[in-house]
């Protein structure tokens, strides 16, 4: 992800970041509560085991750091969608907090 801010969409990348947080939580549930993933006596086919996504977790920090940089927030791709970008950045930095509302 070495493209400049002008070629990137923050809300999409931050959505990925939030999703990676969910993958981390899903992997924990998979281990702690495997019965959540059983349907009709067999384990549900999620298509991918959550552990397969855990190697991508460092990408989350890279995305957040990139979009917290004020220089990147000057790009039109940030300013054109500033409201949703700010909400997505906040949700990425504090995942799960919106669930407490």
Q: Which comes out higher in pLDDT, residue 14 or 29?
A: 14
Q: Are 68 and 62 in contact (CB under 8 A)?
A: no
pLDDT band at 40 (very low <50, low <70, confident <90, very high): low
d(CA 39, CA 76): 47
CB atoms within 10 A of CB 67: 24
**What's the rounded mean pLDDT across residues 12-25?**
88
* pTM score, whole prediction: 0.77
Q: With residue 52 as reference, give the H or E element that holds it.
A: helix 51-54
In the numeric block, the tokens 């281990």 are attached to 31
Q: Are 3 and 74 in contact (CB under 8 A)?
A: no
**What's the rounded mean pLDDT across residues 41-55?**
66
> pLDDT digit string (tens) for 49-95?
677 778 888 999 999 999 999 999 999 999 999 999 999 999 999 87
């Amino acid at each position: 992800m070495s493209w400049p801010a002008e070629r990137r969409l923050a809300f999409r990348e931050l959505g990925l970041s939030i999703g990676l947080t969910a993958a981390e939580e899903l992997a924990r549930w998979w281990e702690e509560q495997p019965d959540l993933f059983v349907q009709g006596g067999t384990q549900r086919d999620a298509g991918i085991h959550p552990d397969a996504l855990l190697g991508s977790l460092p990408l989350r920090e890279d995305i957040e750091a990139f979009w917290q940089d004020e220089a990147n927030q000057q790009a039109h791709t940030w300013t054109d969608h500033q409201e949703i970008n700010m909400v997505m950045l906040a949700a990425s930095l504090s995942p799960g907090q919106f669930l407490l509302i």
